[in-house]
Amino acid sequence: MKLSGLTLALLAISCGTIIGFAASIPDAAQTKNEDIKYRIERKKMVESAIVGYGINDTKIIKAFLNVPRHEFVLPEAKDNAYEDKAMPIGNGQTMGRPYEVARMTQLLGLTGTEKVLELGTGSGYHTAILSRLCDEVYTVDIQADMLKTAQERLGRLGYKNIHFRLGEGTLGWPEEAPFDAIIVGFAADSIINELVKQLKEDGKLVIPVATTDGTQKLKLVTKKNGAVQVKDVIKVNFVRMIKTDKDKPAVPPVSANDANRADQ
């Protein structure tokens, strides 16, 4: 639900300067000749769909201002890339609403030093946002063609602190565990225990979970003294988890390239 009145006015005062200042400074990952039209649309998206919904973390605001969302959607969807809605990215997958992506990111409480695991690379948009807010991103996708395209895109745009792996999201990335934070980009049937195991103490897992009534709830899972604390956050609508064919072996996590780097 959008904020209004005095609360929104105060947010506008505190964040307006950040928006104006950050929007005028191109991110290193932006193409040099990026159309000014997209910068204007991106600024409007941040004002209405992120700040307007109560996201006031200046680091997150700057990341959304600087990551070119139109580069991560299908070519025919570029003109609508900055609308506050989920966007198709191919293979029956979608990119989440800007507010949903921002809210999930905010829940992680990133300070810039974290090692983050992302499950469900998709087009790489949320990966790019995370890379601007933490030290290292480890991202896993089960679809080889989407992972390859995202890796090439992120490399072209200059994102360098990202490691890629082809594999099943429910397995995480045990060889690189533990992680400070884990974020899931698909709706699971339940909280995935294997991911909880791969969290550091005080680590956070943000995951959409399907409910019995057919809806989905975004859940924040915090690991405390080996146990978990679970909080329901908001209703969401994510693409369901791709399940491995029972007649075939599960896709094992394998490195997408030797260096696991976007710039290799």
Q: In which domain, by residue range, is 59 found?
A: 5-255
Q: Is 250 exposed, middle or buried (0-12, 13-18, 19+ CB in 10 A)?
A: middle
Residue 69 lies in a domain: yes
Is 262 a member of any domain? no
Looking up tokens 């000749």, which residue turns up? 33
Say yes or no to pLDDT of 20 above 80.
no
Q: Is the pLDDT of residue 12 over 80?
A: no
Write the CATH number for 183: 3.40.50.150
Number of domains in the chain: 1
pLDDT digits (tens, 9 = 90+) for 126-158: 999 999 999 999 999 999 999 999 999 999 999
Q: Is the pTM of this model over 0.85?
A: no
Measured distance CA(92)–CA(46) in Å, rounded: 26
Let me know if residue 105 belongs to a domain: yes
Within-domain flag for 235? yes
What is the per-residue pLDDT across 31-68, written as a single tens digit (0 to 9) for each?
545 578 999 999 999 999 999 999 999 999 999 999 99
Please compute the mean of the pLDDT values over residues 19-26 and round it to a whole number.
49
**Within a domain: residue 263?**
no
Least Cα distance to 160 among 30, 264, 258 occurs for 264
Flag whether pLDDT at 258 surpasses 50: no
> What three-state secondary structure class fits 150?
helix
How confident is residue 219, by pLDDT bands cut at 50, 70 and 90? Answer: very high
**3, pLDDT greater than 70:** no
Q: Does residue 231 belong to any structural domain of this protein? A: yes
